Amino acid sequence: MYMCKAYYRQIEVPTAHQLALVRAPVLLLCGEADLLVPAECSRRLQEMLPGAPELQVIPNSSHQLMQEQPAAVNRKLQSFFSSVSDD
């Protein structure tokens, strides 16, 4: 619990102004059953970022979607990286 408290005491959430300055392509991934950061929170973040970032909700996963659905996450990442690649 000590580490959790330390993490949340130090977190810095970007302001709307800071988010508006983002110029890189963005992919947002969230777990369908995430109770810590629900999909609705990711949708609000999506609305705040410029350039209409892509939001993907991973089925059958929660907050640790990378561990719960690694193949699905890897497919989404590969697709995203391929779409923004210079090659």
On whether residue 10 sits in a domain, the answer given is no
Asked, for residue 4, whether it belongs to a domain, the answer is no
Instruction: Please give the single-letter amino acid code of residue 53.
Output: P
pLDDT tens string 44-73: 999 999 988 999 999 999 999 999 999 999
Single-letter code of the amino acid located at 14: P
Where helices occur in the chain by DSSP H, the ranges are: 2-10, 16-20, 39-48, 65-68, 70-84
Does residue 12 fall inside a structural domain?
no
pLDDT tens for residues 16-50? 899 999 999 999 999 999 998 999 999 999 999 99
Please report whether residue 13 resides in a domain.
no
- Does residue 28 belong to any structural domain of this protein? yes
Total domain count for the chain? 1
3 located within any domain: no
Print the domain residue range for 39: 22-84
